[in-house]
Structure 1
Amino acid sequence: MKTALLPFAALLLSTPARADWKPIEKIETYAVSGQSAEQLYLSIGEKGPAVGTAGNERRVIAHTFFKLTWQRDYQPQGEACVLKTARPKLIITYTLPKPAGKLSPALQARWDAFAAGLIAHEKVHGAGIIDMVDKIVAFSTGLAAENDPGCKKVRAELTQYLDQLSQAQRQGSRDFDKVEFGKDGNMLKLIAAFLGGG
């Protein structure tokens, strides 16, 4: 029986974090049920995270979400402005499926391999988010503008950079998923291996 493949979703794309800040990574799960790989996969299709805009939502297997806030120290220096420090607080949440009941040893082994592949995929998205934040920190720290007593120029330059970086990150994430779910992609192989035993 053919089973429609669910697209993976991840909002954004990690390199190791810098020494002066560290991301918080969390895993949340949603329960799926079944006593065969096919039943579990169908349950994922029914219960997986819903992503997309209202009215255009779709269920996905797993999801990477992040919340990013900043502590920034803008310091006017005469008529100039300098962004002395930019300290991020980044929380990345991975949402993954988890069987609600006990599985047979053979099915549990296949599930464990499937689950390991899912988190590995999502961690690449998480790594991209961390890399993006590292780039923001590097760009922000020491950013200065002359004739900017209200720090408006510095804020505008930072905002423009953040917009460009965010768009590039989203595109990188989409490109990664396209490869992973393309012909001979890792995710297609992972799903096929999981469903192969029935």
Structure 2
Amino acid sequence: MRLKVLTCLVAVAALYAPQASAGSKIRVETRTYDVTGASGIELIQNINRKGPKRGFMAHAIALTAYSASWDLVMLRRNGSCRVRQANGTMDLVFTFPRVVSPMSPALKRRWSRFMAGTHAHEATHGRLARDMMRAAERSAVGLETTDDPSCSKARREAGRRIEAVSAQYEAKQKAFDVTEHRGGGHVEHLVLALIKP
């Protein structure tokens, strides 16, 4: 499961100033929430009560949330404006369940397999978010506008391009979740493997 939290645009103007290429930065944080249970069914029931919210009522097993902000470095010359750099910063937060009650050796093995699959699922969401940042940066850098001494047209167009890329990757995130969460899909197999006696 993934959650896109925020995308905002911040502009920084520069006049003939040489800039080192900073590029996008990804800050990653991993959080956990505690679950208990002596069986796979009890663990899933606890996850269903305590897992991160995905909407108003439903709880996810795990969650990937991200927010992105952008600093645009502009180069102004003779009334034109060019986006010299699009430096994005993404906060990428993974949330996973953590068992805090004793487990039998058999349940511990099943939990380890369950969590390996859960981590793989969320890692795909994280990869798509990182890919989005790179694609958004490429979409904005080099953009040039004429008759734009204040760079307002360039900022608007760069923001539009970044949002378009974000929407494209958000669609990829949703398509991935639809495939993974469908009946008989990867997530169902993980859950069934955990709760089998």
Alignment equivalent of 1:28, drawn from 21, 27, 31:
31
Q: Where in structure 1 are there 5+ consecutive unaligned residues?
A: 1-8, 13-18
- Contact map agreement 1:83 1:143 (CA 8 A) in 2: yes
Equivalent residue for 1:184? 184
Task: Tell me, yes or no, if structure 1 residue 42 matches structure 2 residue 45.
Answer: yes
Match of 1:11 in 2: 3
- Aligned partners of 2:62 and 2:118 also within 8 Å: yes
* CA deviation string 1:52-84 (max 9, x = no partner): 2xxx34211111111222232112212101111
- In the TM superposition, what is the alpha-carbon distance from 1:40 to its structure 2 partner? 0.6
TM-score by length of 2: 0.85
The corresponding residue for 2:152 is 152
Residue 51 of structure 1 deviates from its aligned partner by 2.7
Q: Report deviation, 1:20.
A: 4.9
1:51 is paired with a residue whose SS is coil
CA distance 1:57–1:161, shift in 2 (3 Å): farther
Gaps of 5+ in 2: 5-21
Of residues 127-136 and 159-168 in structure 1, the stretch that sits farther from structure 2 once superposed is 159-168
Give the Å deviation of 1:21: 4.3
Contact 2:31/2:94 (8 A) holds in 1? yes
Identify which range, 162-171 or 79-88, moves more after superposition. 162-171
Q: Post-superposition shift, 1:22?
A: 4.6
Q: 1:70-149 alignment to 2 at 5 Å?
A: 70-149=70-149
Cα contact 2:140–2:162 (8 A) shared by 1: no
Query: Counting strand residues as a fraction of each chain, which structure ranks higher?
Result: 2
**Is contact 1:11–1:170 with CA below 8 Å preserved after alignment?**
no
Deviations 1:12-65 (A, max 9, x none): 5xxxxxx9545232211000011111111000011001132xxx3421111111
1:121 CA drift (Å)? 0.2
Whole-angstrom distance in 2 between the partners of 1:112 and 1:100:
14
What amino acid sits opposite 1:27 in the alignment? T
Q: Tell me, in whole angstroms, the C-alpha distance in 2 between the residues paired with 1:22 and 1:75.
A: 22
**Letter matched to residue 11 of structure 1:** L
Quote the Cα distance in structure 1 between the aligned partners of 2:136 and 2:165. 8
- Match of 2:2, SS state, is coil
RMSD: 1.7
- The Cα of 1:192 is off from its aligned counterpart by 1.1
Tell me how far apart the structure 2 counterparts of residues 178 and 20 of structure 1 sit (CA, whole Å).
32
- Contact kept? 2:31, 2:95, Cα under 8 Å: yes
Q: Give the aligned residue type for 1:38.
A: I
- Structure 1 runs of 4+ aligned residues shifted over 4 Å read 19-22
Matched with 1:4 is none
| Contact 1:82/1:154 (<8 A) preserved | yes
Using the size of structure 1 for normalisation, the TM-score is: 0.84
CA 154–57 in structure 1, closer or farther in 2 if over 3 Å, else same = farther
Indicate how the Cα distance of structure 1 residues 124 and 37 shifts in structure 2: closer, same or farther if over 3 A, else same.
same
For the 8 Å contact 1:72–1:85, the answer to whether it is kept is yes
